[in-house]
Structures are given as C-alpha cells and as structure tokens.
Structure 1
Amino acid sequence: MQLTKESVLAQANKASKNTLMETLNIEMVDYGEDFLVARMPVDSRVYQPDGVLHGGATAALAESVGSFASHIFIDTENKFVRGLEITANHLKSVTEGFVYAKATFLHKGRTTQLLDIRITDDHDNLISICKLSTISLPKKK
C-alpha cells in the first residue's frame, strides 16, 4: 500500500487517542520523504507556574514527533520502536499560539536512529533544539 501524506497523518493522529499526545493536544500536521511535523497549542495546560511553555511539555512534543517519525520510516511490520534518550536545549520562551516540532533523521540505522527535532513558534523563531535516539527491536512472533 502506498503511503500518502494524508494517510500517514491520519494514522498518527488516530494512534494518539487516549494518550499523553491527546492530553497535550499534540497533532501531526505535515509529513514528507524525510521529515514529520507536529504542533501543540501553548496554553494553560502546558504552562509553568509563571505562564510560559513548560520544558517538559516541549520534550513530550519532541519525543512524540520523533518516535512517530521512527515508527513511520522503519519496518514496523517486523519491528517496534522505543525511545532511548532525549535531550532538549530551550532557547526562548513562548506564552501563546502554537509550537511546531520538525523531526528529521541524523542517522537511520537498522537498530538505532538519531533524530534532530527543531521546535519553533508561530513566527518561525527557534524555541528549542532536541535530539532523540530510538531503537528498533524485533517483534516477537
């Protein structure tokens, strides 16, 4: 079956039901040959006590889009994907609008993957830079 942009995004968003992604209102919004983009609204659900975007919510957005990217671009009929490590460098605060996370591969190995995830705001300002490593393990038959 040929994967279309619409089918990939619909599948990813359907899989988010009743998960942290749904709680944070994370939505996959764009997909291409080598990237996946998600967005998350910045509102009181993801604030720190002082009214700015919480770094943990940013990391959850990054891990969500990076894990989905690994899932989409890896042979998931025979393998499953798990996150190994995430790092996040927060560069700028956000108080409203949306943040967008674009995941691209730095390394796409058979077993391990490394993704670069850039978080930007509605004005394309760089908010955070994240790195996510994932592992693909064989499914037990």
Structure 2
Amino acid sequence: MSKKSKTEILALCAKMSTNTLMETLHIEFIDVGEDYLTAKMPVTPRVHQPDGVLHGGATVALAESVGSAASYIFLNAENVMVRGIEIAANHVKSVSEGDVFAKATFLHKGRTTQVWDIRITNPVGELISFVKLTTLSLPRKTK
C-alpha cells in the first residue's frame, strides 16, 4: 500500500469520484487495508431493474469502480494510468434495498496486469455477486 494513511487514501478515493459514475451511483469508499479496498453502494430505485431488484450492471459498475481504484492505490498510480480490460460477474442473490459492499483483493499483482477478486455482499455478509476484474497499467504520458 502507498505510504498515505487510511484517511488520506479514502479521501483521495472520494476526490476521484467527484463528477463521475461513482458519484451518480452514490458509491462510497469506506475501508482500505494492506491488500484490499472496500466500497459501498445504496440499493435504491436508482439502481433497480424494472422488477425492483439491484441491476446487474450497477453491481458490475460498483465492482469495476472499487477494483480500478484499488489498482490506482496499490500500484502508486501517479506514474501509471489504470484501465479495466476484462470483467466477469456472477450474480447469485437478489437484493432490493439497503446497501451492498464490494471488497477488492488481488489475485495477481503484475507490473502491467492485475487480476482482482471482488466480492459483493449485503450488510450481513451474504454473497450477492462475485466478480473477476483484470486491469492494465500503462505508463502515464508526460508533457
């Protein structure tokens, strides 16, 4: 993890979310550790399918948001740009209200590619979806 404090990292994640899809979906980064980043998203009609349950696309947006932010944090991305290049999700339980939590942990931490395990759970820890995200780190262009 970078040499920043937990509070500084979470503040950076909040700042990165301004005027983005994360802000639109009310995704909030809530915890970070040596090898993980966690975010939460409220389940409201804003993220429902027409039949009133959490939309799989919103779930995947949450997963990609937390995985990409984790790559940025754990790779000291001041020097690289992070891009998602592949995502696969399995939705195993429906949810219609409350919050969902996404915890991203590394499966592979390569120099140019990273593979993330992202578990989406409800407040009591039941698995809602599991997601595998692959990210790519590219050198940031200097001016």
Same fold (TM over 0.5): yes
Matches within 5 A, 1:59-98: 59-98=60-99
Partner amino acid, structure 1, of 2:14? N
Partner of 1:46: 47
Distance 1:77 1:93 in 2: 38
**Residue deviations 1:35-76, cap 9 Å, x none?**
000000000000000000000000000000000000001131
Distance 2:21 2:48 in 1: 15
Distance 1:44 1:92 in 2: 17
Question: TM-score, normalising length from structure 1?
Answer: 0.98
Distance 2:76 2:55 in 1: 33
Runs of 4+ off more than 6 Å: none
Matches within 5 A, 1:85-124: 85-124=86-125
Question: TM-score, normalising length from structure 2?
Answer: 0.96
Shift of 1:122: 1.0
Structure 2's unaligned 5+ residue stretches are none
Structure 1's unaligned 5+ residue stretches are none
Distance 2:141 2:73 in 1: 19
Q: Secondary structure at the match of 2:89?
A: strand
Partner of 2:11: 10
Distance 2:10 2:140 in 1: 24
Partner of 1:128: 129
Shift of 1:129: 0.3
Distance 2:50 2:16 in 1: 30
Partner amino acid, structure 2, of 1:122? P
Distance 2:64 2:3 in 1: 26
Shift of 1:78: 1.7
Q: Secondary structure at the match of 2:93?
A: coil
Aligned length, in residue pairs: 141
Q: Secondary structure at the match of 2:18?
A: coil
Do structure 1's residue 34 and structure 2's residue 35 form an aligned pair?
A: yes
Shift of 1:77: 2.3
Distance 1:39 1:124 in 2: 13
